[in-house]
Structure formats: C-alpha cells, structure tokens
Amino acid sequence: MSYRMPDDDLIVLKEITLLKKEKRTFYINLIKTLLPEYNKKDLKKLPKFKEEDLEVFPRFLEFSIKIFINFYNTGLSEEDFINDIIIPSIKSSIIEIDIDDEIKSFFINILRMDKSVGIYAKNVYLTFENLNLFFNARIISDLRYLFYSDISKLPNYALIQHTLKISYSKNREIKEKFFSFNLEQLNELKDLINRAIAKESTIKKLSKQNNLKILKGRKV
C-alpha cells in the first residue's frame, strides 16, 4: 500500500506508547462513551478528567480518528492494515517506537470501535468529501448606470445588480467566488434554499420516527 503514517501522527503515537496502560485504557473507554456525539466542551465536566488530560486526550482522539479513516479507505482487514500500513510506517520512520503486543492490541481496539470512532470518523470523512467547504457569504447590491457613448449625456437607464460573494475553504486556504444575479434569479435561489431547509426538517422528522440520530458535520 502507498499510504504511510505522517511524522506528526507518529509523534503522537510515540506519546501514546509512553502513557501508562491504565491511562490508555481510560482514554479508550472514554472514546466509547463520548463518541459519536462528541463535544470538546463536555470534557471539563467529566469527574475523572484532569488538567493534563485536556492536553493529551484530544491528540489521542484525533490520532484514533485518523487511523480509522485510513483503515476505512484502504478496505483492508484489521490484521493486514496493522501489518501492511502501521508497522511499515513505524519501521521506516526515524522516530523510535517499540512494536509490541500492547501497541498491536491498542490498534485492534481502535479499529474495532465501529460504533464510536467508526461513526465519528465516517462523519468527518463525509464532511470533507467535497474539497470546497463553505466558509461564509454576502450579497452586494449595486445600481449600475448605463451610459451613452457620449458620456456627457445623463443616462436614462440603469441596472440593479446583485453580486453573491462566496468564501470557501480549499486545502485549508480561503478562496472566493463571485456570482451575478438579477431579482428573478435571487428569488430562484431563495426558493432553492427554503426547499433545502424544508427537506431537512422533513428528514429530521422521519429520522426521529425511525430512531435515527442526526449528527452535525465534523472536523477531525
């Protein structure tokens, strides 16, 4: 396989290997409890959560999610993913990490948490499936005079022009695109947006009837 774990992830893995086994177990059980409906603000409310955990656990969680996303993308079995991806990544890195049964067991635990890490990871994956992510938008409305060839003559005609500016993120860089609309096109866009909002409301009602929880789009 062509994928290899990046050094930043291997540095986190090194940190994980240095944690006491009890702490790793605590974090894994915490992931099972918190995910997929995870909210970072809730961490401070946890009774056994210490100040140091606020630093370490988010990195532990992010690492686990990235591992599951790549596992999901490869389509490999758990054993093949560990043997063909994880171990070669560790061996080819300058970062010294001991490969023992405890670490293999750690990865097996992560890869088998389909109901927690798995759902959250797939949520992240689908959120970023489209490379262009909406950031914000504004509409600028202008009155544009239509001048004659002889610009000394006062114009008798004008055009109302609406320009939609959409800012979006692509590869962590903010870009912009501009679209011109007349009033008829603005109303068409408004109808499409209202229809999408109504669809979401209906989908949520159907989901509630079928005991299906709707998650918000997530970042890692």
Q: Does residue 109 carry a pLDDT above 80?
A: yes
Global confidence as pTM: 0.64
Find, among 69, 53, 57, 48, the residue nearest to 113 by Cα. Answer: 69
Mean pLDDT for the chain overall: 86
Helix pair 51-74, 101-111: axis angle to 10 deg: 70
36-54, pLDDT tens digit by residue?
877 777 777 777 777 888 8
Q: Give dist(CA 42, CA 51) in Å, integer.
A: 13
Find, among 93, 109, 115, 88, the residue nearest to 25 by Cα. Answer: 109
User: Which helix (DSSP H) or strand (DSSP E) does residue 143 occupy?
Assistant: strand 133-145
70-83, pLDDT tens digit by residue?
888 888 999 999 99
134-169, pLDDT tens digit by residue?
888 999 999 999 999 999 999 999 999 999 999 987
Domain boundaries, the chain: 7-127, 137-181, 183-220
Structure tokens belonging to residue 216: 């918000």
For residue 190, the cross-strand partners are none
